């Protein structure tokens, strides 16, 4: 669990899809469940810039290491959404700007108040950054596991190559968030208490509150609802357990059981 900022900044790049044969999906299309899953992933990856908005209004923006990472993270996530959009387009599904605009029109009214809520929380506790870094680690662990599960379930050679490349970049995001979370939690019992409370009270699978509830339910059942999926969920919970002060939250197992 280490992160080397200069190496990340040097290696950060637009996802390489130059050799991906998207026409292969026309000859060998994905099934309805895999496509439903990819719609969700497209929408969540494309929503990264909105999550970034909520982080930048907090005290996290004062940390140049965090803002350097977030700049490149947002860029990489954009291209993840774009690549998944190309898979959807190969199935004659709507993707890209039109789909993203529709999603943002459907966001709950409360979304406009999220930056205000984050600003307020940042004023109330100096430990919000620890919460955000830990939250980011859990979401990146979940995202990488979701891609691994989808690759296995869809069992499509072209999709597997694409998802493997995305997962490699998600791995570097994991390194950043988990290193930041670990450092901030190690240094402060108060940060541990605030983060533990926030995760227990507010954490939900990535995409919740943005994507419709029935799609969140579908995704967690489809990807993590069988014994193989549960192994992934429990592995993420063990990683959370290893962060200082966060033992025994069972976030993923709890979400799957729900």
Determine, following the binding rule CB under 5 A, whether residue 175 of this chain makes contact with Fe ion: no
Structure tokens, 97: 């700007």
173 binds Fe ion (CB under 5 A): yes
Which region, judged by CB under 5 A, interacts with Fe ion, from 15-23, 80-88, 153-161, 197-205? 80-88
- The interface with Fe ion within residues 55-74 (CB under 5 A) comprises none
Nearer Cβ to Fe ion (174/256):
174
**Calpha distance 83→247 (Å, rounded):** 36
Contact (Cβ atoms closer than 8 angstroms) between residue 182 and residue 133: no
Cα dist from 3 to 44, 94, 173, whole Å = 24, 37, 9
Which of 214, 231, 220, 202 is CA-nearest to residue 256?
220
Residue 173 and residue 36: Cα distance in Å, rounded? 25
Q: How far is the CB of 79 from Fe ion (least distance, A)?
A: 9
How far apart are alpha carbons 96 and 107 in whole angstroms?
Answer: 17
How many residues would you count in the chain?
Answer: 258
Between residues 22 and 78, which has the closer beta carbon with respect to Fe ion? Answer: 78
**Counting Cβ atoms within 10 Å, is residue 114 exposed (0-12), middle (13-18) or buried (19+)?**
middle
The window from 38-46, 129-137, 192-200, 214-222 that contacts Fe ion (CB under 5 A) reads 38-46
- Which residues, 6+ apart, have CB-to-CB distance to 125 below 8 Å? 194
Find the binder of Fe ion among 42, 59, 80, 172 (CB under 5 A): 80
Which of 60, 121, 170, 172 is in the footprint of Fe ion by CB under 5 A? Answer: 170
Residues numbered 129-168 forming contacts with Fe ion, rule: CB under 5 A: 140
By beta-carbon proximity to Fe ion, the closer residue of 47 and 80 is 80
Select 140 or 180, whichever has its Cβ closest to Fe ion. 140
Work out which of 43, 77, 180, 237 binds Fe ion, going by CB under 5 A: 77
3-state class of 211 per DSSP?
strand
Q: How far is the CB of 235 from Fe ion (least distance, A)?
A: 17
Give the interface with Fe ion as residue ranges (CB under 5 A): 45, 77, 80, 140, 170, 173
């Amino acid at each position: 669990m280490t992160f080397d900022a200069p190496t990340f900044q040097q290696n950060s790049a637009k996802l390489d899809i130059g050799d991906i044969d998207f026409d292969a999906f026309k000859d060998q299309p994905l099934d309805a469940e895999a496509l439903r899953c990819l719609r969700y992933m497209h929408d969540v990856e494309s929503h990264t810039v909105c999550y970034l908005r909520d982080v930048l209004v907090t005290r996290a923006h004062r940390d140049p290491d965090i803002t350097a990472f977030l700049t490149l993270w947002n860029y990489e996530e954009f291209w993840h959404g774009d690549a998944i959009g190309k898979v959807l387009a190969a199935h004659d599904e709507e993707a890209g700007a039109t789909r993203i605009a529709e999603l943002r029109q459907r966001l709950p009214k409360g979304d406009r108040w999220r930056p205000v809520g984050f600003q307020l929380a940042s004023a109330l506790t100096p430990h919000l950054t620890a919460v955000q870094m830990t939250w980011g680690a859990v979401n990146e662990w979940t995202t990488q596991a979701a891609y691994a599960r989808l690759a296995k379930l869809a069992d499509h050679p072209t999709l597997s190559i694409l998802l493997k490349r995305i997962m490699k970049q998600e791995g570097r995001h994991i390194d950043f968030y988990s290193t930041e979370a670990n450092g901030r939690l190690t240094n402060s019992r108060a940060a541990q208490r605030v983060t533990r409370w926030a995760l227990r009270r507010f954490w939900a699978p990535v995409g919740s509150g943005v994507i419709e509830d029935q799609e969140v339910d579908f995704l967690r059942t489809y990807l993590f609802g069988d014994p193989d999926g549960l192994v992934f969920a429990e592995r993420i919970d063990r990683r959370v357990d290893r962060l200082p002060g966060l033992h025994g939250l069972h976030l993923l197992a709890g979400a799957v059981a729900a």
